[in-house]
Structure 1
Amino acid sequence: MAWLGAGAAQAATRVVVVAGMGGEPQYEERFGKWSEQVAQASATATGDPGQVQRLAGKNARREHIQAALKKAAEELKAGDQLVLVLIGHGSYDGSEYRFNIEGPDITGSELAAMLDRIPAQQLVVNATSSSGALAEKLANDRRVVITATRSGGERNATRFAGFWAEALTSEAADTDKDGNVTAREAFDYTVRRVADAFKADNAILTERARLEGREPARFVVSRLGPAALFAGDPQLAALRAEQDQIIARLAEMKALKANLPEDEYYARIEPVLVELARVGDRIDARFAALGVKVEEGGDAM
């Protein structure tokens, strides 16, 4: 069975990438470049560039961020996903985190209030300095929070965003080699690359990333190789949506396992597994029609 979506069990995914104020030309260039890379990879991952919004420079003011998240609150449902990526500088005064943008900064409390109005499952990647101050404030049952720093006290400019962008196009980040880079895989890759960079510079590691929340692997943040075909082929996109819905049903069933007699549990789950296998076969057939080789057992080559 080819290209089982690694936990991306939602009907629609909205991605908002925000590049904050750099303050210096080198940072302005870096933040712009990294945000573009993340947005491009997200367009491939979602299969719908229209669901990806990049805000940068004068278009990343408080009102623009508020408008993007307000639109997400109005349009997304509980079964959908929202991915919010913040790239830039942050600050923390001991009580409140701030994301540095053109005009008035946006605070952690404001971000939390806006995100709480959105019913979708959420992945928040805050790649700024002092971002660890937001981890506990934002964490809840339907939200995975990734921060570049462990606490608000880590104030140096971070390297996390650059390596996160790199992870989205790196086969090395795809540890299970299924063509999908999940948030878990991207996080692990980025943490390794940040540590390697500090070591190469003979510098003390002052940037310790953090991940809070359940099942980060349910968020697919990038698709590589043949998996990227899902973004450009309508038939594959429809099959992926069908596959994702089945995966969502499986996840719901697995949550009930502890409360059901074993025979009843397997009687319920077996037909869904068969249905999932049949969709996988149809995906394999579509890959074959497109001239993509599928190895027996199941990965497209």
Structure 2
Amino acid sequence: MGFVWNMRRRAVWLVLLLACANAAHSETHAVVVSGLGGEKNYSDSFSAAAQSYATALQTLDNGEERIVLLDETAGRDQILTAIQERVEAANSSPSATLVLILVGHGTTDGSTWRFNITGPDLTTEDIVAALNPMSSGRQLVVLAASASGATLEALTQSQRVVVTATKSGGELNAVRFPEYLAAAMETSEADYDRNEILTMAEAFRYANARTQTFYEQQKLLASEHSRLVGDLAADIPVALLGSLKEAQDDPVVASLLAERLLLEEAFKALKARKQDLPTVDYYAQLEVLLLDIARMQQSIDAVTGWSETDAES
């Protein structure tokens, strides 16, 4: 029993490790839009936040054409075309993640939510129609704008994580959440598990907490309550940090990561055969994989400069 119990504990560790590895290396496509500010301070704030989001996403996928950043001069047709192009590209890779981030002002008229842009506004229906042609992979939709909670019911579905700056369409005031979300993507403080892979769950946790703290410190009644819906938030990365970010173009690291991907495939194959194997045989084979992956991870840590003290700091 002791052997099997230890193997099961190690299996849990392996699943967590592989989740991190998959998060760091799946193909990412994104459209980030800075909406119409109306006033210079809003325009500057939205633009800065959008730039932070795009820069963070580029650490995951340095193919420049995959991360599209549009400013407040972009109109509805340009935005929808950009989304369509990224959806088509993502469809060619079953494991791809599509990210859509809108930062700016939002309004609702009772029938739909509208994202304020140059010309005709982008509506909830526009967003749904643009995203639905994606046939596989995962989606992350972040609406860092006022009244965005009005979209939750329409946008929520499996394989999609939805983040809104407000809980409903009734929270109409300009929101603070976007700036704190931008800050989350630029600091290791938001990386709660210290693995240098910032997930949407971690970024949201950080931004949500900072938003609440702002209203408490200002002794104001909070006029915004951000929401996150979707089971995959902890699996979807939004940035690489620290040594992983610095080493993304290192050919040595790339080679090691390629070897680790082979071990991941071996793990998936073994997991698929679990029901056909005696329990002892399954966990014995799993132990071999655990040791191989542990050694591979040590090699990667040595090259990137990561150590146990990083995780404890």
Question: What is the TM-score of this pair, normalised by structure 1?
Answer: 0.85
Is the aligned partner of 1:133 residue 2:150?
yes
1:91 equivalent in structure 2: 107
The percent identity for this pair of structures is 37
* Counterpart code for 1:124: V
User: What SS does the aligned partner of 1:101 have?
Assistant: coil
Answer whether contact 1:97 1:134 (CA < 8 A) is retained: yes
User: For 1:91-142, what per-residue CA distance to the aligned partner results, in whole angstroms no more than 9, with x for missing partners?
Assistant: 1122211111111111111101111112331111111111111122111111
- Counterpart of 2:166 in 1: which secondary structure? coil
**Pairing 1:113–2:129 present:** yes
Structure 2 gap ranges (5+): 1-16
Instruction: Indicate conservation of the 8 Å contact 1:132/1:147, yes or no.
Output: yes
Whole-angstrom CA distance in 2 between matches of 1:230 and 1:199: 39
Which residue of structure 2 lines up, in the alignment, with residue 188 of structure 1?
Answer: 205
Change (3 A) 1:178 1:97: same
Distance (whole Å) between structure 1 residues aligned to residue 204 and residue 308 of structure 2:
30
Other structure's SS at 1:123 match: strand
Q: Cα–Cα, structure 1 residues 149 and 103, in superposed 2: closer, same or farther, change >3 Å?
A: same
CA RMSD of aligned residues (A): 3.2
Cα distance per residue 1:223-269 (max 9 Å; x no partner): 22112124332332454466467658868987998999755764675
Aligned residues: 295
User: Distance between the aligned counterparts of 2:213 and 2:116, measured in 1?
Assistant: 27
Tell me how far apart the structure 2 counterparts of residues 252 and 238 of structure 1 sit (CA, whole Å).
22
The question of 1:213 aligning with 2:248 is answered no
CA contact (8 A) 1:10 1:81 kept: no
- 1:161 and 2:175 are equivalent in the alignment: no
Contact 2:167 2:226 in 1 (8 A): yes
2:251 counterpart residue number: 234
1:70 CA drift (Å) = 1.2
Q: How far did residue 147 of structure 1 move? A: 0.6
User: Greater shift after overlay, 258-267 or 73-82?
Assistant: 258-267
Unmatched tracts of structure 1, length 5 or more: 288-292
Shift in Å at residue 66 of structure 1? 1.3
Distance 1:211 1:249 in 2: 33
Distance 2:256 2:216 in 1: 44
Please say if 1:177 is aligned against 2:177. no
Distance 1:240 1:161 in 2: 33
Distance 1:199 1:52, change over 3 A: same
CA contact (8 A) 1:87 1:128 kept: yes
CA distance in 2, matches of 1:198, 1:262: 54
Name the counterpart of 2:67: 52
**8 Å contact kept, 2:141–2:162:** yes
- The whole-number CA distance in structure 1 between the counterparts of 2:277 and 2:150 is 40
- 1:298/1:88 CA distance change after superposition, 3 Å: closer
**2:23 match: secondary structure:** coil
1:277 is displaced (CA, Å) by 2.8
Higher Rg: 2
Structure 2 match to 1:290: none
Cα pair distance change 1:229/1:109, threshold 3 Å: same
Q: What is the TM-score with the length of structure 2 in the denominator?
A: 0.82
